Structure 1
């Protein structure tokens, strides 16, 4: 609706009013035609001119001089002529009947059109839906209520109860969140409660706060005779019971506050509901905060059925369907829908505007578009108030209601990509030489006006800008010419915050430190993107990436850790070479390479370079961290000779540091190393020591140099090998059904090692379950090498169940991937399974070949924990080839090695194989040695191997 230029009207030029089709009450006005309920209404030309002018300026006081200049262009007439035609107009409109008001006189100023005006043609009434008979007329005087209000089902009863108990409630929330929708619905809900005494006033069109009181008076059917009719309103309401809804108060809040407080104090039968982006701050007011519509949590992997249970998604889907997009939601859509609703922050208006365009762009394209300013310009319903037709208009409305200091602070705070603290806000929003008090005051006002949201966190609070507000404010920051300077200040602040929090700490401080670091993730990403895209931030690139590197590892974002470390190391200069930032980057790069790509020479080179720098800098915590990672690299690549020396060096460093958790972690590292090289006695001794201090180890947080070195899982494998199957299973049983811990790499290791224990005891159902979790977990976090390991375990399960050919095919896919990644830790077990499967299919020669190749690779490295088992399997294949002497020799070697390693379970298996061979050869008393070995067990009699041994002994 275009407004008449006051300058033109005053000059007497007879300026033409461009007026779109509008409607108010039962009337429609198009061009110079007025209709009531579709029937033309006769109106004189002067009265029509006056009506068109007042409607075009609805909510404003139009001075009498302007009206005279427009309706009687070029003529000199008395003011009495204006009063006569206004009286005619009021009579035609029925102004004042049944409490309905259209035109009010503002003494000494002019006239104002006070009825709500809707743009566009009035839609023909739909076929009425039969309604139950009520004891009173339906609330036709109220604005139309939405047929279906999503996500606010619990709000109405709670809000109604508070309104009845407390009488004066302000429904507060940011623009577009749905305050008006809820207020209209509540007015309809409470129509019978107040016996029809419900008055709804949309104050949005008012442009002059002085009109508030007269507008309220007009809505109540009072004739205004004085400049301030407050007294008359109070006298009228004092002995009445009714509900007064004051919608959209924020732009005229001072006058609304004064009037509402007076009514609440002087008229005890009146209930007041105000909707506003800020509190009225008067006596008696109670705040009801309208929160965003709940949406799926970030990163949740939900099905279609799960995702549509969230109100934000449900609203989006329904509005998209109404706009012509297909209504069904597939599981493939679920993740995109969750992403879209996350970007829309649960703001109803934003959801509706985006949903209406899905049919144009598609879901995935919509998700990308939401990152741009474009969403601020998407138009909504033509009949909506102008301030609600676009997100940009809604924010323009809010932006226009705050002062210059608040605008500056809002623009600067928009640089934060995630939640921020009070101290963060001060650091970024207070430029050099600017008073901090100004930022403090501005932040308080921005929160009060719902432009910055806040939530408690412990004893303090965190703040954030809703996504649409942030996009809007960033554009304003660019227009103000401050974008680069504020972005640099932000990047520097993030770098310093991460650098400061890298200091090792213990106890409860460690947990708080980890939480604080994790909260910086979104801003760390934003700062990195900006600094590497702008030369203005070139000097921050290496220290910023170095500060972020450990954070990415702590949060299991290993692909990001690898990419940013590579980028930073590629531009390393002399100032940072050999310093702490190269140390962090090299350490991170080597670690991330191992788990996301392969155990390459580049990974080992990065780890060794990092260790070299740590030793020069005498950084013991990083020495331990890098020795642990080098130990991991050696075990993964099958370089077993290096394991124990590296672990013992790490233990030496841990003792020098003197940290209890670090020493426990070192014990676990040494124990694992002895286990893998085949010394189970030493392995159990060290792992038992680690378990004794396990409480300290479990108390570590991400970033601690010994974080997540839990000894129970490797101890389970050692216990099985040492002849304690039940105790072994007890160690890993808690992992079944347990939620994944925050350290995804350690969780993958735990799943792998636990699966091996359950495979050894013959519980293939549990192996299958753990393997499924491993595959899902590895795929979710981009840990490609573990996906190949999961395939190997799945193949083992298939072969154990008789699906030999399918298992072999899967192993032939998984093993080349493991070899290509230089990931040999699990390869020997999978090759052993492959050899047995090939033999089962009659391909003995091929089976023996792959087994021989594996043994030949392991033996020069000093052997391994599973070499006795590989030798036993070689003997089994030799026996099937009728090479009985060779088979007997292989079994004997296996038994001797198992005894040397302290691996009683390997010995039992080899004793059974040898006994079967000797039974075949007719050797006297072939079961004697098996019986002696069986007698050394004191538990595990229901596990597969012991049951098989018992059966042999019983038959013998």
Structure 2
């Protein structure tokens, strides 16, 4: 469609089918045209495009429809289901499905889609859409475009001929797909969609004594957004939090996410693990900021469980998310308040127990939740326990002695069939004698739970105690194989372990999960903490930690460089690997094993996008290399991983370059050619990002030598792509084209992934060729090459490769002055880079968004966005930032900031000369001249000197595209000074060297200027 299409009052009045939609008749099926013409199917007859343009507002949609199944929406029942293509949109349930499978959309995107579907065939203005999606906030159009771009991606708009959303330039958006409506007989069960939206652990459908607490917490969360459940260990905070999450699934449309912090040994890892749990790749230095940005517009309940041992970090993260993500609701559990802004306390009391001498019967004892829980757990395993009038008082006394703490009650009830109630009460009384004295002197309440766990521990046989303490070395899940490898000894052979594990499960000391890839065991956190103390007090504590680290080192080394599928099978063991690394680098640990384990765990950390955590362990391992006499292979892997992780997380500095250089030197020392090629690629990319363009050329030449010596043609082709890119940045266009054409002549220039870093050689080669073609004066070929390459990269479905390709292709469309056709790609860059925390690429994308806004005449917002992005990139030492100063200086000059504009372009030129960034130097010199001519007191002589320097440099580089842009500026200056003949003699030959692209704005402008100068060929220019 033409983005210049306009909807007018007259066209709408003369035909019920808006002019905009009539323009689409050749593209819309007849059924869709009939639907658009009728409009009554999905929009109220009282309002249409004519009404909109005559100033009448559309009917307001009742915001209460979300929670009502009977409210009507624009003349339709909230039970309506709108069907288009393979999609079914359930209005009342705020759900959309594709072929029966749910699609996840943000609340904002859903509101926008529903509004457009309700008025299908009608152009809905941007202001109306923003008012609908952000009713209580003021946002810019960029936010709307981001959500529309996300909608297009979710709907597959434009794929295989599907077309649902169209942009009407200067007006808004229109839903153009054929829509039909059905009415649901009854609301679809929530369960069908919520299973895909939450990660809550399973919960008991029947809660004992916590119904009121769950209800109170749920109401607090709805209105106050941030609630912390506080209570002693074992009180049931996690159980109540999980049950509250399940109770609120419908309220949050399934978006309830549970994050257990209990397995984290290093508080610094909290943001990284939170990012991983939410599916956000941890590729940023400021993970808290990335999380806040990721959650900013998402209505979600986030449960942070077991905060007390990482309370400072958890509190800071929770407070930041609360402040910066207004749609986010937070439920935390801790033994103490987080003490941060927005937090509301819910202190969880013990379960009510019978008072002393209550004269209980079986019937009235069950009225107390503590007794009810005891009976439920005592009979759950199929035991023969029965609550009777004879034992009701003893059961009541047991529950009271246990202070109504659910975990203590459950542990005790698990043994009732073995010992009987009366004997257990006697044992309990004897065991707690000293603790009763301590409690009277105000010992902390957790001592009661500790005593209960200790008592349960003492009921185990000696082999069970030994094995339980040894198993406490595991963090989170562990396999039967791991348990057998670590817990075995001369006294405890394999048969004893095989017999003891089921016994520990039956006695509730060990949990069993059969839903994982293979059977997994897990100790409850409180049990594990107690058992760890026993292990530390014994003689074999260090031995078990050593075995634990060695076992996971062997597991990782056995996988080695195998496929992602193998890594996926051990992804749930990352907590154990993290725990082993923590021990290895502790004062009591084994640093030699730690260095090997850190090196072996790199592929898993990259697989899980835990790049910040990977850096942490790699740094510790590198620090320990000297004292452990680590081998060359480990040294290479650690420095390569550190350099790559820093590159991906936007840390562009000499340290990253030094890491990769060291790894490369080690690869050369060992003769590892594949590693050399991969490292050279990473080093080359980092040098380009850092603006070390001369060094990048040397690195690429170094890679070419290695590739040629390896007699690997594909490696040679890949290195020539790197050579071409370096020459391109250095302004050597002829050499750049020669290298790129040589690379493209190789038939297998495929994408590769080195050390977690994706490198799309084919895409990079073709985009570089497109840029060269434009610079050499072939704008049509350049645009076609760029578009074809973008389409290819989109099919690869790799966000990093896509973003890098789109960013590189931007200049082709910018130089051709046709950004209106590229703006959707820019929106996609911003969305994808934010989603994957590609910090540097995100800032570059936002700069391009600012340039696009300036091109559309939105000077205020565009200038602010571009200026902010340039400042951020300069602070990060981004090498090619000088090129972005050309549009920035132009925008500053256009808004009467003359001095700032001149200072901006002068600093950019100086920076470019310093790092030999000559690719855009002709255009920077032209931009400087334009600023000088726009000043309140124009300096025409200096402007002319800058233009002549630009023209000479463009000729030397062979950049005909830049030569024409500069020639137009110089010709206009000379025309202004009455030097018509000079202008004509200079511009005409340059224009005459072009063989294509006469429809582009630059060549059209040159033709019009030549006609004004009186060229005898002006008629032929006009014909073009």
Q: TM-score, normalised to structure 1's length?
A: 0.55
1:528 lines up with 2:581 in the alignment: yes
Q: Which of 513, 516, 519 is residue 453 of structure 1 equivalent to?
A: 513
Distance 1:354 1:411 in 2: 33
Aligned partners of 1:309, 1:824: CA distance in 2, in Å?
A: 45
Question: How much has 1:728 moved relative to structure 2?
Answer: 0.8
Choose which of 877, 890, 912 in structure 2 pairs with 1:822. Answer: 877
Q: What's the counterpart of residue 59 of structure 2?
A: none
| CA separation of 1:512 and 1:684: change in aligned 2, threshold 3 A | farther
| Counterpart for residue 384 of structure 1 | 372
Distance 2:963 2:687 in 1: 27
Q: Which has the larger displacement, 527-536 or 752-761?
A: 752-761
1:496 pairs with 2:554: yes
The 3 A distance-change label for structure 1 pair 887 and 536 is closer
| Residue ranges of structure 2 left out of the alignment (5+ in a row) | 1-190, 249-257, 262-300, 311-332, 337-347, 353-368, 378-404, 419-459, 1010-1020
Contact 2:235–2:349 at 8 Å: present in 1 too? no
- Return the alpha-carbon distance in structure 1 between the equivalents of residues 302 and 914 of structure 2: 57
Give the aligned partner of residue 703 of structure 2: 650
1:352 to 2:243 alignment: yes
Query: For the Cα contact (< 8 Å) 2:951–2:967, is it kept in 1?
Result: yes
Alignment of 1:334-733 (within 5 A): 351-352=242-243, 366-368=305-307, 381-382=369-370, 384-386=372-374, 388=377, 390-391=406-407, 393-394=409-410, 415-417=473-475, 423-424=481-482, 426-431=484-489, 436=494, 451-455=511-515, 461-465=517-521, 469=524, 472=527, 475-476=530-531, 478-479=533-534, 481=538, 484-503=542-561, 509-515=562-568, 520-549=573-602, 551-576=604-629, 579-596=632-649, 598-657=651-710, 662-687=715-740, 697-698=750-751, 700=752, 703=755, 707-713=758-764, 715-722=766-773, 723=778, 724-733=782-791
Superposed counterparts of 1:14-163, under 5 Å? none
- Report the 3-state secondary structure (helix = DSSP H, G, I; strand = E; otherwise coil) of the residue aligned with 1:323: helix
User: Of the candidates 980, 985, 993, which is equivalent to residue 922 of structure 1?
Assistant: 980
Alignment of 1:849 onto 2:903: yes
The equivalent of 1:326 in structure 2 is: 219
Following the alignment from structure 2 to structure 1, what is the Cα–Cα distance between the partners of residues 1023 and 815? 24
Question: For 1:828-856, what per-residue CA distance to the aligned partner results, in whole angstroms no more than 9, with x for missing partners?
Answer: 12211221112212343442332233223
Partners in 1 of 2:200 and 2:491 — Cα distance?
Answer: 51
Distance 1:419 1:910 in 2: 66
Task: Indicate how the Cα distance of structure 1 residues 850 and 500 shifts in structure 2: closer, same or farther if over 3 A, else same.
Answer: same
- Partners of 2:874 and 2:664 lie apart in 1 by 27
> For 1:561 and 1:378, how far apart are their aligned partners in 2?
41
| Aligned equivalents of 2:494, 2:410: Cα separation in 1 | 29
Distance apart, 1:415 and its partner CA: 4.6
Partner of 1:53: none
The higher radius of gyration belongs to 1
Summarize deviations over 1:118-154 as a string: whole Å, max 9, x none. Answer: xxxxxxxxxxxxxxxxxxxxxxxxxxxxxxxxxxxxx
Conservation of the 8 A alpha-carbon contact between 1:597 and 1:783: yes
> Is the Cα–Cα contact under 8 Å of residues 878 and 884 in structure 1 kept in the other structure?
yes
Match of 1:183 in 2: none
- Partner Cα separation in structure 2 for residue 926 and residue 733 of structure 1: 39
Distance in 2 between residues matched to 1:617 and 1:714, nearest whole Å: 30
- Secondary structure of 1:823's aligned partner: coil
Does structure 1 conserve the Cα–Cα contact (< 8 Å) formed by 2:763 and 2:805? Answer: no
Give, in angstroms, the shift of residue 648 of structure 1: 1.9
* Equivalent-residue separation in structure 1 for 2:754 and 2:193 (angstroms): 30
Q: Deviations over 1:764-790 (max 9, x none)?
A: 467655555555655566654445434
- 1:628 Cα deviation after fit: 2.7
Cα distance in 2, alignment partners of residues 955 and 919 from structure 1: 23
Deviation at 1:903, TM superposition (A): 4.1
1:681 and 1:318 mapped to 2: Cα distance? Answer: 76
1:872 is aligned to 2:765:
no
User: Would the aligned equivalents of 2:602 and 2:641 in 1 still touch at CA under 8 Å?
Assistant: yes
Contact 1:661 1:696 in 2 (8 A): yes
CA RMSD in angstroms, aligned pairs only: 5.2
CA shift in 2, pair 1:501/1:896, >3 Å = farther
Name the counterpart of 1:180. Answer: none
Q: Which has the higher contact order (CA 8 A, sep 6+)?
A: 2
**Counterparts of 1:410 and 1:695, CA distance in 2:** 56
Q: Deviations over 1:679-730 (max 9, x none)?
A: 34443454456567686743x45637x8534331453243144132122122
C-alpha distance 944-922 of structure 1, shift in aligned 2 (>3 A): closer
Q: CA deviation at 1:545?
A: 2.7
2:995 is aligned to 935
Residue 452 of structure 1 aligns to a residue whose secondary structure is strand
Judged with a 3 Å threshold, the aligned counterparts in structure 2 of structure 1 residues 629 and 737 are, in CA distance, closer, same or farther, namely: closer
SS at match of 1:824: coil
The separation in 2 between residues aligned to 1:606 and 1:785, in whole angstroms, is 20
Q: Is the 8 A contact 2:689 2:879 kept in 1?
A: yes
Distance in 1, Cα, partners of 2:235 & 2:949:
68
Change (3 A) 1:674 1:407: farther
In structure 1, list runs of 5 or more residues that go unmatched. 1-291, 298-305, 338-342, 504-508
Q: Secondary structure at the match of 1:646?
A: helix
1:227-238 to 2 correspondences below 5 Å: none
- TM-score w.r.t. the length of structure 2 is 0.52
Instruction: Give, in whole Å, the separation in 1 of the partners of 2:811 and 2:525.
Output: 50
Provide the secondary structure at the position in 2 that maps to 1:427: helix
CA distance in 2, matches of 1:446, 1:685: 71
Distance 2:999 2:198 in 1: 44
Q: Between Structure 1 and Structure 2, how many residues are aligned?
A: 630
The residue aligned with 2:273 is none
Contact 2:690 2:878 in 1 (8 A): yes
Q: Does the CA-based 8 Å contact 2:816-2:1000 persist in structure 1? A: yes
Give, in whole Å, the separation in 1 of the partners of 2:971 and 2:498: 84
1:906 maps to which of 962, 966, 972: 962
Taking the aligned partners of 1:770 and 1:612, their CA distance within structure 2 comes to 39
Structure 2 CA distance for aligned equivalents of residues 589 and 420 of structure 1: 29
Distance 1:815-1:417 versus aligned 2 partners, 3 A rule: same
- CA distance in 1 between counterparts of 2:545 and 2:677 reads 36
Cα drift, residue 646 of structure 1: 0.4
1:392/1:701 CA distance change after superposition, 3 Å = farther
- State whether residues 761 and 944 of structure 1, in contact with CA within 8 Å, keep that contact through their aligned partners in structure 2: yes
State how far apart, in whole Å, the 1-side matches of 2:1004 and 2:823 are: 22
Taking structure 1 as reference, are residues 536 and 856 closer, same or farther at Cα in structure 2, changes over 3 Å only?
closer
